[in-house]
Amino acid sequence: MAVKGNYRALRHPLGRALLRSVRSGLAAVILLSGCANHIDHGKSVAHLEAPSHSTPRHGAAYNRAYRVKGRIYYPLTSARGYRERGTASWYGEESGHRTAMGTRFNPQGLSAAHRTLPLPTRVRVTNLSNRRSIVLVVNDRGPFVGGRLIDLSHGAAKALRLSGLGRVEVEALD
C-alpha cells in the first residue's frame, strides 16, 4: 500500500517537483564531493605542501623517452632515492597552458618541471641560500636550458624566496 501512496504523490505536480529537487540535490552533492579539499588544522600555515597526486604511470606518453632541440631525454622508471643539487629557475608566463601531463599550468601553484623524474613525483625542494623548503609536484618537462636542474612555478619560487636563479636541493619523496 505504501508504494501505491507514493505513486499517487508522484502523479501530483508538486510531488514530481519535489522528486526533481531531491534528485538535483543528490546529483550536486555527488559531483561536488570530488571537489572538496582536505584541510589539516594540525599543520602550521608556514608549512607549504602540494596536494598528493597519483603514482607515476610508466606507460604514459609523458613518461616515455622524448626529444627536445635534437636531444633525447629518458625519464627515470623510479624516483626512489633521487637527490640532486643544482640551479633552479622559475616560470609563470605559461598560465593556462597544458603541462606534459595534460593538466592546466597554474603559475601560483606548487609545481615544477624536471627533465627526467617520472610524472607525477612529489619532491622536497630546499633553497640552499636560506634553507627554506617546500613540497611540490613535478608535473611538467623542462628546463631545457643548459645548467638548470628544475623549473619552479612562480608560486613555488615565491614560497622559497627565490628570485631569478638559485641553488637548490631536490629530493624525491615518493
pLDDT in tens, 75-121: 999 999 999 999 999 987 766 789 999 999 999 999 999 999 999 99
Helix (H, G, I), strand (E, B) or coil at 117: coil
CATH number belonging to the domain at 61-172, selected among 3.40.50.880, 2.170.120.40, 2.40.40.10, 2.60.120.260 = 2.40.40.10
User: In terms of C-beta density within 10 A (0-12 exposed, 13-18 middle, 19 or more buried), how is residue 104 classed?
Assistant: exposed
Judge contact between 119 and 101, C-beta under 8 A. yes
Length of the chain: 174
Beta bridge partner(s), residue 112: 138, 152
Judge contact between 125 and 156, C-beta under 8 A. yes
| Strand residues in 97-161 grouped as ranges (E) | 111-113, 121-127, 133-140, 148-153
Domain extents for the chain? 2-33, 61-172
Model pLDDT for residues 123-168, shown as the tens digit of each residue: 999 999 999 999 999 999 999 999 999 999 999 999 999 989 999 9
Judge contact between 143 and 115, C-beta under 8 A. yes
Which triple of cell numbers denotes residue 52? 598528493
**Mean pLDDT of all residues in 27-34:** 46
* pTM reported for the whole predicted model: 0.68
How far is it, in rounded angstroms, from Cα 151 to Cα 90?
5
Q: Looking at the predicted structure, is the pLDDT value of residue 55 above 90?
A: no
